[in-house]
Amino acid sequence: MTPSEIQSIKQRFGIIGNAPTLNYAIQVAAQVAPTDMTVLITGESGSGKESFSKIIHALSPRKHGQFIAINCGAIPEGTIDSELFGHEKGSFTGAQEARKGYFEVTNGGTIFLDEIGEMPLGTQARLLRVLENGEFIRVGSSKVQKTDVRVVAATNVNLLDAVREGRFREDLYYRLNTVPITVPPLRERGDDIYLLFRKFATDFADRYRVKPVSLTPDAVQELQRFRFPGNIRQLKNVAEQISVLETDREIDSRRLRQYLPQEQTSQLPMLLSAAGSATDGAGNAYSERDLLYKVLFDMRRDMTDLKKLVLDLAGGQRPHEAQELLRQNSHLFTSVQVSPYDAGAARPLRPEAAASDFILNPRDLAVEDATDYEEDVQRVEDISHETEEETLSLEAKEKEMIIKALKKHNNKRKYAAHDLGISERTLYRKLKQYDLEQA
């Protein structure tokens, strides 16, 4: 496919950017569109996966048929079969009349199944039958019906991990992954970030009838350094806020930083490609894996703070408080005995060690004291390395975070799930796992 053909597709579907990874994804979508092959689109939340499903449908022989986009994570588990495959009258409470499902309505068209990884296992079996034989059965019926629908699926999680954990059918994964398309995250698209910002700024200026905002060179660099865990969706929100709230239409880096979160909550790997390379997991904010990584880093920081506090207490001539602190945290130090004083002489560790994060400079010590001083601090340094894997409880930390989120949002699970960065279905599963369903 020539560059001019790719550019024509971008203009038609409103795609902005020239990153090589973006161009390659568009090329694959255009090449597979004329076929009936099933396509699996992978990429972080907010990276624009739905646009690629529209490209595939519009460039296919099915373009005159119906196109329906469905978010599998937004449909409750108890009703998703009815939504997709329809139901008969009286098949369940509230089924007052027969209803056609999406696979029946879009016969001859295309269905885009977003967040396919959130689909229940029972529904996955039904979907596999549709993909294999073009057959489905309405809920409450025994009659087999035929449908001719092309399926394009998308996910922001690693489906292979879900397969290993038993949350996704392996046969369905390979049936969906006939042609994979990877949509690059915004932070890997270089100059595209500024191009998209300019486009959004112009659009919002027209909408709100104001002068478009512009960025100074240092602000452009600041914008391109930011990781954008929410990808294009987050960039668009930032552009809209600046367009509405700023009176000065030229924005420098200092003003721009006020609209960028201080803590980028999605810096950790989430999605692994087939080659094993890691990309960020934005999800909505956190994936389950992001949550676990965050817990690990929080615990590591706690360990560092505790070691520094021990040294501060010892350096402040308070050995009893230091020893009591170690005793109270013995669950972290199961196999290590730490004494802030060396044997014989009551000489404390120097507080300078805490200030330099245990990078010692014993040049100001007497020659006979330097060796003992280094050994004392080394014993404290070894604490985290010997006991970290044995004693840290990720489940307890995760349970604590879930309880805090529920309390924060007055037990409104939808908002708690959004705050935690997981789907409502995942939150329900966690509540059941930790016996918090009555929380």
Q: Where do the domains of the chain lie?
A: 3-184, 188-257, 293-391
> By C-alpha distance, which of 62, 61, 53 is closest to 28?
53
Unique residue bearing structure tokens 């990078």 = 359
Instruction: For residue 114, report the phi and psi dihedrals to the nearest 5 degrees.
Output: -85, 155
pLDDT in tens, 387-417: 444 444 677 778 888 888 888 888 888 888 8
Percentage of the chain with pLDDT > 90?
53
Mean pLDDT of the chain: 79
CA separation, residue 376 to residues 7, 140, 350, 418, 427 (Å): 65, 73, 10, 46, 46
The Cα 253–Cα 223 span in angstroms is: 8
pLDDT in tens, 50-68: 999 999 999 999 999 999 9
Q: What is the CATH number of domain 188-257?
A: 1.10.8.60
- How do beta strands 39-42 and 150-155 pair? parallel
Give me the residues paired with residue 47 across strands: none
pLDDT in tens, 335-362: 444 444 443 333 444 444 443 443 444 4
Per-residue pLDDT of the chain in tens (439 residues, 90 and over written 9): 889 999 999 999 999 999 999 999 999 999 999 999 999 999 999 999 999 999 999 999 999 999 999 999 899 888 999 999 999 888 888 778 889 999 999 999 999 999 999 999 999 999 999 999 999 999 988 999 999 999 999 999 999 999 999 999 999 999 999 999 999 999 999 999 999 999 999 999 999 999 999 999 999 999 999 999 999 999 999 999 999 998 899 999 999 999 998 755 444 444 444 444 444 444 444 455 666 666 676 677 667 766 666 666 656 545 565 556 556 555 554 444 444 444 333 344 444 444 344 344 444 444 444 455 455 445 544 544 444 444 446 777 788 888 888 888 888 888 888 888 888 888 888 888 888 865 5
Contact 291, 420 (CB under 8 A): yes
CA 379 to chain centre: 38
pLDDT at 222: 93
Superfamily of domain 3-184 in CATH is: P-loop containing nucleotide triphosphate hydrolases (3.40.50.300)
